[in-house]
Amino acid sequence: MPNFRHLYYFWIVAKQGGFARAAEHLGMAVQTISVQVRELEKDLGHALLKPAGRSVALTEAGQAAFARAEQIFALGQGLAGEVRAAGSAPVARLAVGLSDGLSKLAAHALLAPVLATPRLRLVCHEGELDELLSELALHQLDVVLAGQGAPRIANQRLSSERIASSALHWYGPASLVRKATRERFPQSLQDLPVLLPTAHAPLRATLDQWFEDLGVQPRIVGEFEDSALLAVFAARGLGVFPVSELGAKDVGLVRGLRLLGDCPDLREEVHAIWSRRGRNHPLVRQIVAAAQREETTARTASVEAR
């Protein structure tokens, strides 16, 4: 590791074009600066400067050292401001794990209540549930959103709660969603190209059983782990797809999609999984509370409608 004070003197000499100018700039003796630069060259094992008339020029090794010094001291110049900003207004950090089988459109809707938090730093990590639970147990994540509750794992004190259960809707591009297909839904799915979540998603098994009960054999043209990506391909005309009522709130972000039909008896569940430490995170509490209020409101509206 080079001495950064030596590196700084070398950097100033290179920027000023010579030892005399560097000494004047720093208010130091030429001999002092020269000794420091020679020490750096000795540490690195290469000459960094060479005579160029009354000034100096960079050797090839010096050019490499100067480029790195530029990066180092550019970062250093911003250090004081960043420390001041962090010390005066702490960042509200929330690390969320998203199970790869979970609808990302639904996940966005569930996180919406905290997105306006001042100085929020949201970190979202997508992966397999086992991997996310390990990170949760190590306190690398504050909460995991998944399509199932926390499994019983030895040495992992994890808790979970179902925070959402919403009915499914089917959407597709206007070129496929016409009056006739809407009127014959869900049997019209037999004649349409269909996009589905992959087998990683708990919802996929529910959909496969639903198709079997209907006697419909869908023409599956695509399978996606990411529901947002699925919606984009659907909007480009590839096929029709299911999305939970919760995720459907964000479908409007993708232009060109039309509602094909509703499946009130099919539901996608979302569970929040946390460790004891994560449960006390104020933003986790806010997400859970908002989701519970939303589900209570929806349940009340459903009862009143009956």
Mean pLDDT, range 102-126, rounded to an integer: 87
User: Phi and psi (nearest 5°) for 29?
Assistant: -75, 145
Give residue 147's pLDDT. Answer: 85
| 245-259 as b/e: b if 16+ CB within 10 A | bbbbbbbeebeebbe
Share of the chain above pLDDT 70, in %: 93
| 271-288 as b/e: b if 16+ CB within 10 A | bbbbbeebbebebbeebb
Report the chain's mean pLDDT, rounded to a whole number. 87
**Does the pLDDT value for residue 241 go beyond 90?**
yes
- Biggest alpha carbon distance in the chain? 93
Half-sphere exposure of 225 (CA within 13 A, CB side): 8
User: Phi and psi (nearest 5°) for 250?
Assistant: -100, -5
Please tell us whether the domain made up of 4-86 is placed in CATH 1.10.10.10.
yes
Query: Does the reported pTM lie above 0.75?
Result: no
Domain ranges of the chain: 4-86, 91-305
**Cis omega (within 30 of 0) for bond into 90:** no
Classified by CATH at the fold level, domain 91-305 comes out as D-Maltodextrin-Binding Protein; domain 2 (3.40.190)
Residue among 158, 150, 151, 182 at smallest CA distance from 169: 182
| Residue 210 CA: distances (Å) to CA of 217, 223, 239 | 10, 17, 19
Find tokens 């001291």 and name the residue.
73
Give residue 302's pLDDT. Answer: 61
Give residue 13's pLDDT. Answer: 93
Please write the tens of the pLDDT for every residue from 174-220: 999 999 899 999 999 999 999 999 887 888 999 999 999 999 999 99
Please write the tens of the pLDDT for every residue from 58-101: 999 999 999 999 988 888 877 777 777 666 667 789 999 998 77
Give residue 10's pLDDT. Answer: 93
| Residue 52 CA: distances (Å) to CA of 26, 40, 41, 46, 164 | 22, 20, 18, 18, 72
Q: Give the integer Cα–Cα distance in Å for 98 and 225.
A: 11
Q: Which residues, 6+ apart, have CB-to-CB distance to 100 below 8 Å?
A: 126, 127, 128, 129, 200, 225
> What 3-state DSSP class applies to 214?
helix
